[in-house]
Amino acid sequence: MPIYVDADACPVKEEVYKVARRIGWEVFVIANSFIRTPAESRIRFVLVDAGADAADDWIAERAAPGDVVVTNDIPLAARALEKGAEALSPTAKVFTTDMIGSALATRGLMEHLRSFGEITSGPKPFSPKDRSAFLSALDAAVGRARRKLA
């Protein structure tokens, strides 16, 4: 059972590696530019072609029940959920089938507002508290993924 990491601008790759080592799962780190990963057989870097959705497409084509997908991309999270995978963001937000529709709608609204220059601030800095919350959320996602295959 793998953990797929949508790696461009993902601040929690080290936390994913830590959990994967503990539970013995593989990690696929997917990006369209080189990212250094540990030289370990269970951690694999996958370089995809340039393009806005190339990494997302690679992950969505492979995600299956019992897998975990780490992404900030709401459409990718929706695709992962459709395949039966668990999906969570680096900020510990757990995506569920019950909330993904409203998350997609909110994303669309925010993109629309940004296109008019209405929103200019980015995300807040990542803190140790955020990393701790992510680790807890990832452990819970792994538990849910394991139960799907039991």
Q: Of 51, 49, 50, 93, which is closest to residue 74 (Cα–Cα)?
A: 93
CATH of segment(s) 2-149: 3.40.50
Res. 148 pLDDT band, cuts 50 70 90 = confident
pLDDT one-digit tens code per residue, 53-110: 899 999 999 999 999 999 988 889 999 999 999 999 999 999 987 776 566 566 565 5
pTM of the predicted protein model: 0.85
> Exposed, middle or buried: residue 58 (CB in 10 Å: 0-12, 13-18, 19+)?
buried
Domain ranges of the chain: 2-149
- Read off the amino acid at residue 126: F
96 CB contacts (<8 Å, ≥6 apart)?
Answer: 81
